[in-house]
Amino acid sequence: MRKFLALISLAFIAWGVALSLSKAPFGEDKIVVGKHYLEKGTEETGAANIVTSVVVIYRGFDTLGEVTVLFIAALGLGAVLYTRRRSSERIEPSSLVLRTGCRFLFPLILLFGAYIFIHGHLTPGGGFQGGAIVASGFLLIYLGCPERRTQELRLGATESLGGLAFVVLGLVGLAVGGYFLTNFLPKGTFNSLISAGVIPLIYVAIGFKVGSELAGIMGNLMERTK
């Protein structure tokens, strides 16, 4: 009986999805907004990567919302998993090869993540991707060198400063240009590192924020497994 009901509700949902998607134009010419982004995006924002110009400039407020969602998720996880006592039992150190390998790779991974979020307006990638790569570097340290600890206070401070920088840049735009997250800095030379106004600054802030948040989530989980 339950399986029968499940089948019926599944068929009902499939019918609804098919009905709502049958009108959507797949593979046809772009709609007005997409056309505008593709044709005017580069000259309006000065960013070579159009995806970045949409994420940070045209839809900057949505990005602020996304960052807030991630912050709340990290906060909830920290509240659930927080332990006052730390490392009561002695941690067994890992082997020399593993430890040396991790120490060698960790700065390179951090450098790669920083490269991705600093060059977000020129090449694919940006704050979220670079931050995730930075966090995977911290994951390597947690797995390979369990005796090394990140300092949660510093992680939290980095995260807060990143979020604060994003909001302050948006508010300065509001004061200078009349609306939140205005691109108030000069656009500079197209396709060079210092260009596209506030986009690199915002992406660096997002990169720091996302990286420290995900690293904090990893740290919380790993602390509990010890």
Partner 1 sequence: MVETALVVMMLVGAIVASAFRDLLNAVVAAAFVSLIAAILFYFLQAPDVAMAEASIGAALTTAIFVVAIRRTRRQEE
| Count of residues in contact with partner 1, rule CB under 8 A | 22
Distance CA 218, CA 210 (A): 12
Question: Element (H or E) spanning 132, and its range?
Answer: helix 127-144
Residue with tokens 């004061």: 175
Contact set for partner 1, span 130-169 (CB under 8 A): 132-133, 135-136, 139, 143
Distance CA 212, CA 226 (A): 21
- 188: β partners: 195
CB of 78 to partner 1, least distance (A): 14
Nearest to 207 by CA among 170, 171, 167, 158: 158
- Give whichever of 94 and 129 is closer to partner 1, judged by the CB atom: 129
- Give whichever of 67 and 222 is closer to partner 1, judged by the CB atom: 222
At residue 71, the 3 state secondary structure works out as: helix
- Give whichever of 173 and 200 is closer to partner 1, judged by the CB atom: 200
Binding flag, residue 196, partner 1 (CB under 8 A): no
Which member of 64, 114, 205, 218 binds partner 1 (CB under 8 A)?
218
The C-alpha angle 131, 134, 136, rounded to 5 degrees, equals 110
Contact set for partner 1, span 30-89 (CB under 8 A): 49, 51-52
Binding residues for partner 1, rule: CB under 8 A, are 49, 51-52, 116, 124-126, 128-129, 132-133, 135-136, 139, 143, 214, 217-218, 221-222, 224-225
